[in-house]
Structure 1
Amino acid sequence: MKKGLIALALVLLVAGGAWWSSLDKDTRAVIAQMPTDSNVLFWSVEQRDAAFRALDSIPVLAEARVIEAGDAVYPLPAGEPLEIAMDPAQFMEDQRSAALVIVHDGEVVFEEYGLDFSAEGKWTSFSVAKSLTSTMVGAAIKDGAIASLDDPVTKYISGLEGSAYDDVSVEQLLTMTSGVQWNEDYTDPNSDVALFNQHEAEDGLDVTVSYMRNLPREAPAGEKWVYKTGETNLIGVLVSEATGEPLAEYLSEKVWGPFGMEQDATWLLGSTNHEIGGCCIQASTRDMARFGLFILGGGIAGDAEVLPEGWLDVATTKQAEIGSPGSGYGYQWWTNDDGTFAAQGIFGQGIFIDPERNLVIASNSNWPAATDPETVGLQRARFYQAVQEAVDAKAAVRAAPAE
C-alpha cells in the first residue's frame, strides 16, 4: 500500500516542492480528499469523487504519459435538443453522473455535467480504455507492425514463452478467449484484478507479463470467454513492442491528433513504464464522444484510413458468447445483436454507439459500486433505449409530409 497523499503533499511543501506550490486552491482541495489506499476498488464514494478527475495529477498514485491532441479541433456543433421521455436530469442524479454528452448526426443534442465536473475537466475511463487499446491493434495491422491476428502472442511479447500463453493467438487475446485462468471479482481483495497491480515485476520483464506468465490454464485456447483486464494490459504491451512506440504516443499519432481531439489526454503507467492498456485514460467527455464519432465514421482520421478494411465490422460484432442472450463480446467492445456496441468501464463510464441512428452517447459517472447490472446498469440501458426512441421520433417528424 502506498503512502497517503496528504502526507506526500506535506513532504513536498516542507521541501519547497514546486509541484504542490504550482497547484491552484481548488486542485489542492481535491487532493486533500484523495485516498491513501492505491486500490481503487476499495475507496469510498467521496474519495472516488475527488480522485476520478485527478488521477494523473498525483505522482505517488501513478505516473502518466500524455496523449497529445493536434492543432485542429473536430467540431461538435449544437443541434436540436432531443425530447427524451426519460428525464435526463433525474437519470444523471441516479447514476451519480459527472458528464453526459449525446451526439446525433454529428451535433450535440444534449450535454450536461454533475459532481462539480465540467467540459474542461478530464475524467478517468477505466475499462473504456480497452476499446481504444484494441483499436490500436487494428492500426498496427494496417501499418504492418502486426502481421496477423493468427500469430501467437509470444511472437510479440517477450517473457511469455513457456507459459499458458504459448498457444494463444492475438485474436484470442482480443476476444478474451485465451483459456487462461483469471478472477475479475471486484469485491474480492484476493482476486487477480485486485492483486496484479500490486505485483513486483521480475527483473527485465513488464509487470503485467511477470504476473500473467504464472497463471494456469483452465480451458483450451479459443473455447471459453472470461473477462480479464490483465489480458488487455498484455495487448497494450503487444502494441508497444510491435510498433516500437509507447501506446499513448501511438494513439496520439493515429487518432488523437489527426482526428481533432480538443484536449491532450493522459494514460496512466504501470510500474514498468508501459501504459495500463486495460484502464485509465484521463480525457474530456467531449473527446470520448469524438472517439465514438471516429469509430462511427469507419476509423478515418484526417485523410487517413487508420484501420484495415473490414476491421470494425468484426471488432464491433459478437466474436465470443458471454452467456447473455442478445449480447456478446467483440475485439474489446461489448456488442448487441441489434448492431449497437459500447465501450464500458467500472463505476459507470461508457461510450455507446448506434450506427443505424448515427448516435453516440458518452458518459462518466461514479456509481456506488464498481458494477451493478441490476440497478444503475439496467437504468443506463433503459436510458439508451429512451434516447434511441427520441431519435426515431425526431426522424419520423422530419419524414412526415408537410400539411
Structure 2
Amino acid sequence: MIRRSLLAIACAVGLVAPAAAQTASPLPADLQVLFWPAERREQDLRRMPELIPHARIEPSPTPRRLPDGEALDFDSSAFMESQRVAGLLVIQDGRVRMERYGLGLTPQDHWDSFSMTKSLTSTLVGAAIADGAIRSPYDLVTDYIPELAGGAYDGVQIAHVLTMTSGARWNEDYVDPNSDVARFYLTPPPADMDATVAYLRALPRAYPPGERWHYNTGETNLIGVLVARATGRPLAEYLKEKVWDPAGMEGPAFWMLDAQGKEAGGCCVSANLRDWGRVGLMALERGAVPGGQIATARWFESATSQMVDFPENDRGYGAQWWTRGDGAQFEASGIFGQMIHVDPARNLVVVFLSAWPSATSRERSDERQAFLRELKAAL
C-alpha cells in the first residue's frame, strides 16, 4: 500500500566532458543487453562505454580514502561463484573490511550499474532543490515539461514520479521484447522532441496519481529530463559537480546516452567497485561527505525512508531507493544482480556487482539476503 502518497520532504535550502552531441540510431540487436547470453554479460558489462555512447565523468580532484579495517574472516567464494559476482565490497565505520573480485574484474574496471543509477538521479533532484533550480517536489511535472500536458501526467507531481506512483501505465517485463522497457530505447523519437518525453506522453493512465506503486524505468528517465531542464545542464556535468567531486570518487564514471545524446536518468552509470561503495557512504552519511554537503540531510532521510509498503515481503520503496525492514535498511538496486545495501544501525555499506544469468531472480535475491545475514553475524 502507499504509506505516503507524496514525498514527505520539507527540503531545506541544503570537469565532465560529455560525449559531444553524439547521435546514435536505436540500439542494434547485438547491443540489446536484456537478451545477451550470460557469457557475454560476464565479459561486456565492464565494456559498456566502448559499445554504446556514454558521457565521461572525470574523477574527483580529492579522492576519498577508504582505509583498511579489520579483515573479515568470512568465506565468500561459494556465494560469488553461485551469484556470478564480479565485485564484492564491505565497508564498516568507513573502513574496508572485505574487497573481493571475480569474473576477471579488477579494481580499475568499471561495471554497469543498471538501475542503481536511479538512486543517483534521485540525489540530483535533491541537489537541484537545494540549489533552487527545482522549487519543490510537490511541483507538477508539467510545470517543467509542458509537452506532457494533456496525457497521463496531468496532475502528477515530481514526488509521484520519484516514488513511482504516477499512475501511468507501463510494462517493465524484462523478458518480453514488446514491453515498454524493451521498446523504450529502440523507438526512434521525433526530431523535434526529447525521446523520453515523446514515449511517455503517449502512455495512458492506469490509476489516479498517488494511488498505486508501479515500477517504471521510463519515469526515472523523465526525472533526468526534468533535472537537466531545471538546471540547464547535462546530467553528467551536474553529477560531476554535485556528487562525484564532493564524494571523492577515485575513478571516472560513464553515463549511457540515449539516441539524442542525452543521459538516461533511469539507467546505466558505469563505475568501479570502490566508487559504488562511496555512493553508499554518501547515502549512509546523509550527504555529509568530505567535500561538503550533497543535497540536504533531510533529503536523504526522506528519500531513503519507506513511503510504499509491500505487504508480501519486508521490502518497500522510497524516492528511487528500495527499503528493507520497514525502512531500517535501504538499497540501490539494478538488474542482473547489482546492489548497494546500506545498514545505518551497523554503519555498514555492502556492494554487489554481478552478472546473473537472468535480469531478476527471486531465488538469487533470497540467496543474497541470506548471505547478508551471515555476513552481518560475522561482523
Determine if the alignment matches structure 1 residue 49 to structure 2 residue 37. Answer: no
State the match for 2:31 in structure 1. 38
Q: Deviations over 1:63-102 (max 9, x none)?
A: 1111222211101111111234xx3111100110110011
Among 359, 366, 369, the residue aligned to 1:370 = 359
Determine if the alignment matches structure 1 residue 89 to structure 2 residue 77. Answer: yes
Residue type of the alignment partner of 1:385: R
> Hey, what's the Cα distance between the residues in 1 that align with 2:65 and 2:291?
16
Instruction: Judge conservation of contact 2:60–2:248 (CA < 8 Å) in 1.
Output: yes
Determine if the alignment matches structure 1 residue 80 to structure 2 residue 70. Answer: yes
State the match for 1:382 in structure 2. 370
Q: Deviations over 1:29-62 (max 9, x none)?
A: xxxxxx952221111011212220001012xxx2
> Hey, what's the Cα distance between the residues in 1 that align with 2:49 and 2:201?
28
> Hey, what's the Cα distance between the residues in 1 that align with 2:29 and 2:207?
38
Deviation for aligned residue 1:324: 3.3
Deviation for aligned residue 1:338: 5.3
Deviation for aligned residue 1:303: 4.6
Instruction: Between 224-233 and 70-79, report the one with greater CA deviation.
Output: 70-79
Instruction: Judge conservation of contact 1:53–1:124 (CA < 8 Å) in 2.
Output: yes
Give the alignment's TM-score, normalised by structure 1: 0.85
State the match for 2:347 in structure 1. 358
Instruction: Between 279-288 and 73-82, report the one with greater CA deviation.
Output: 73-82
Among 307, 320, 329, the residue aligned to 1:340 = 329
Among 255, 276, 283, the residue aligned to 1:288 = 276
> Hey, what's the Cα distance between the residues in 2 that align with 1:123 and 1:325?
29
Among 225, 231, 235, the residue aligned to 1:243 = 231
State the match for 1:144 in structure 2. 132
User: Map of 1:82-161 to 2, 5 A cutoff?
Assistant: 82-84=72-74, 87-161=75-149
Q: Deviations over 1:78-130 (max 9, x none)?
A: 1111234xx31111001101100110111111111011111110000000000
Please tell me the root mean square deviation across aligned C-alpha atoms, in Å. 1.3
State the match for 2:176 in structure 1. 188
- Equivalent residue pairs, number: 351
Instruction: Judge conservation of contact 1:95–1:376 (CA < 8 Å) in 2.
Output: yes
Instruction: Between 308-317 and 249-258, report the one with greater CA deviation.
Output: 308-317
Residue type of the alignment partner of 2:279: F
Among 236, 253, 256, the residue aligned to 1:265 = 253
Deviation for aligned residue 1:132: 0.6
> Hey, what's the Cα distance between the residues in 2 that align with 1:240 and 1:338?
30
Residue type of the alignment partner of 2:209: A
Among 53, 57, 74, the residue aligned to 1:63 = 53
Determine if the alignment matches structure 1 residue 308 to structure 2 residue 296. Answer: yes
> Hey, what's the Cα distance between the residues in 2 that align with 1:239 and 1:377?
32
> Hey, what's the Cα distance between the residues in 2 that align with 1:128 and 1:218?
26
Determine if the alignment matches structure 1 residue 172 to structure 2 residue 160. Answer: yes
> Do the aligned partners of residues 248 and 302 (structure 1) sit closer, same or farther apart at CA in structure 2, a change above 3 Å counting?
same
> Hey, what's the Cα distance between the residues in 1 that align with 2:297 and 2:65?
26
Instruction: Judge conservation of contact 2:247–2:291 (CA < 8 Å) in 1.
Output: no
Deviation for aligned residue 1:309: 4.1
Residue type of the alignment partner of 1:56: P
Residue type of the alignment partner of 2:252: D
Deviation for aligned residue 1:301: 3.5
Q: 2:133 aligns to what SS in structure 1?
A: coil
> Hey, what's the Cα distance between the residues in 2 that align with 1:40 and 1:158?
32
Deviation for aligned residue 1:323: 4.3
Q: Deviations over 1:245-292 (max 9, x none)?
A: 111111110110122100110100011222111110010011000111
Q: 1:381 aligns to what SS in structure 2?
A: helix
Instruction: Between 235-244 and 379-388, report the one with greater CA deviation.
Output: 379-388
Instruction: Judge conservation of contact 2:90–2:99 (CA < 8 Å) in 1.
Output: yes
Structure 1 unaligned residues grouped into runs of 5+: 1-34, 392-403
State the match for 1:279 in structure 2. 267
Instruction: Judge conservation of contact 1:92–1:114 (CA < 8 Å) in 2.
Output: yes
Deviation for aligned residue 1:321: 2.6
> Hey, what's the Cα distance between the residues in 2 that align with 1:324 and 1:104?
30
> Hey, what's the Cα distance between the residues in 1 that align with 2:123 and 2:49?
23
Instruction: Judge conservation of contact 2:64–2:290 (CA < 8 Å) in 1.
Output: no
Larger RCO (CA within 8 A; separation ≥ 6): 2
> Hey, what's the Cα distance between the residues in 2 that align with 1:315 and 1:360?
17
Instruction: Judge conservation of contact 1:78–1:107 (CA < 8 Å) in 2.
Output: yes
State the match for 1:206 in structure 2. 194
> Hey, what's the Cα distance between the residues in 2 that align with 1:159 and 1:200?
18
Residue type of the alignment partner of 1:343: A
Deviation for aligned residue 1:322: 3.4
Instruction: Judge conservation of contact 2:88–2:99 (CA < 8 Å) in 1.
Output: yes
Instruction: Judge conservation of contact 1:173–1:235 (CA < 8 Å) in 2.
Output: yes
Q: 2:119 aligns to what SS in structure 1?
A: helix
Instruction: Between 284-293 and 35-44, report the one with greater CA deviation.
Output: 35-44
Q: Whose Rg is larger?
A: 1
Q: Deviations over 1:312-356 (max 9, x none)?
A: 121111112334332210000010115101000000011000011
Instruction: Judge conservation of contact 1:254–1:301 (CA < 8 Å) in 2.
Output: no
Residue type of the alignment partner of 1:235: I
